[in-house]
Amino acid sequence: MTILIADDDPLMILLLSLAFQRAGFATCVALDVVQATQIINRQRVDAVVLDMSMPGGTGADLIHRLRMFKRTVRVPVVVVSGTVEDDARQQLLEMGADAFFPKPPKVEELIASVHRLIGMNRPAPASGATTNHGA
Amino acid sequence: MTTLDNIIDTEQFLRTTSRDRELISELMFIFQRELPALEAQFTNALRQGDFPAIEQTVHKVKGSLLMFGARCVSLAGSVELDAKRGGAPSFPELCEDLKTEAARVIPALEALLKAGEL
């Protein structure tokens, strides 16, 4: 299983990469929306964990692109962001994000959430997250 | 609350990093490496009165401060918000305070590591 981490913050990339790798996932990293789009076009990813504000576009742009194509329309998307305004969070969930975690995320909950979303069961959310499913 | 507790919310940082000392050292190394460039960008943007650039830089710094459980993250949030609004009368002082407080983060983390609290 491969997780695409789309974030321009090196600290967050390190934290998330290590956490997902230790949980048995492969990871790939995009530092901006353009790189993320290239990776999505080139290879299969099983879930995307993205920041809301990135160079070359926003997390919302990336969600929009993922939801446009049959191949990626069902790829789970988890937003991890320092922007915690309810409106912005709700807007992302309406656009097709599956879960939202404030920065810094509780990594165990984040990984559990990704596991569940990949399993497509999409049950009740982890306590720290806002999700589109369950709750 | 000790002096270090005034700088770092240790519990939050340990929760984020799952008490992984190797990860903590790597995060500190990256932050030490990145901070001077961010500070230079911030100073340049301030000098030029470039509020979008200030906002962008402070947003990055805020992400790092959040990661480390730095208590000055609220100050970074205020500076970011003021920059978004195009400044405020107290903006220069807030920016100086943020520089001072952000510079205390790594020494505080090193002291906590040395004391075995991380």
**ipTM score of complex:** 0.79
CATH number of the CATH domain containing B36: 1.20.120.160
Domain count, chain B: 1
The predicted model scores a pTM of: 0.82
Alpha-carbon distance A107 to nearest alpha carbon in chain B (angstroms): 7
Strand-pair partners of A4: A28, A48
Name the one residue in this structure whose structure tokens are 């962008």.
Answer: B56
Of A8, A11, A103, the CB nearest to B27: A11
B8 CB neighbours in chain A (<8 A) are none
- Residue B81 contacts A where some CB pair is shorter than 8 Å: no
Name the one residue in this structure whose structure tokens are 């995060």.
Answer: B27
Q: Are A12 and A78 in contact (CB under 8 A)?
A: no
Q: What is the pLDDT along chain B (118 residues), one digit of tens a residue?
A: 568 889 999 999 998 888 888 889 999 999 999 999 999 999 999 999 999 999 989 988 998 999 999 999 999 999 999 999 998 888 999 999 999 999 999 999 999 989 888 8
Pairing of the two strands A57-58 and A53-54: antiparallel
Q: Cβ neighbours of residue A98 under 8 Å, at least 6 residues apart?
A: A76, A77, A78, A117, A122, A131, A132, A133
In A, minimum Cα distance to B34 occurs at A10
B63 CB neighbours in chain A (<8 A) are 9, 11-12, 82, 103
| Residue A132 predicted with pLDDT over 80 | no
In B, minimum Cα distance to A19 occurs at B17
Contact across the interface for A11 and B60, Cβ inside 8 Å: no
C-alpha–C-alpha distance, residues B38 and B59, integer Å: 10
The answer to whether the Cα torsion of B14, A99, A24, B65 is positive or negative is negative
Of B34, B60, B67, the CB nearest to A15: B67
In A, minimum Cα distance to B57 occurs at A9
Binned at pLDDT 50, 70 and 90, residue A124 comes out as very low
At A126 the pLDDT is: 47
Tally of CB atoms within 10 A around A69:
11
Contact across the interface for A107 and B66, Cβ inside 8 Å: no
Structural domain of B34:
4-114
| Sheet strands side by side (includes A77-81) | A26-30, A2-6, A47-50, A77-81, A99-102, A130-131
| Residue A104 predicted with pLDDT over 70 | yes
Helix, coil or strand: residue B8: strand
| Residue A135 predicted with pLDDT over 80 | no
The DSSP letter of residue B70 is: B
At B79 the pLDDT is: 95
A11 CB neighbours in chain B (<8 A) are 27, 30-31, 63-64, 67
